[in-house]
Amino acid sequence: MALSACDIVLYQAGADPHIDDPLGGFLTTEQMAERDAQVFKGLKDRGVPVAWVLAGGYQDPLSKVIDLHVNTMRAVMST
């Protein structure tokens, strides 16, 4: 099924893939920002609505996780 046939996409924008996360550990902050930008732009370009949740993130201090989630908000606002 093509994305354009979807009524809505549910995107779980998890922070646990971040390189400093003890349960993740493979994407840099910049790569995570690019991930979100590609998801939101790709869906917008196809005219597919998206709903997302901010999930995961187990770093200390909590402010690191919050910063990653703020970056996700920036990505959606810039599309």
pLDDT in tens, 13-58: 999 999 999 998 899 999 999 999 999 999 999 999 999 998 989 9
- Does the residue 63 lie in any domain? yes
- Does the residue 48 lie in any domain? yes
SS3 64: helix
- CA 78 vs CA 3, 52, 56, 62: distances in Å: 21, 15, 23, 25
- Does the residue 4 lie in any domain? no
Distance (Å, whole) CA 41 – CA 38: 5
Predicted confidence at residue 1, as pLDDT, reads 62
- Does the residue 39 lie in any domain? yes
In the chain, the number of structural domains is 1
Global confidence as pTM: 0.89
Tokens 């201090």, residue? 61
- Whether residue 6 has pLDDT greater than 90: no
71 is in which domain, residue-wise? 11-77
- Does the residue 2 lie in any domain? no
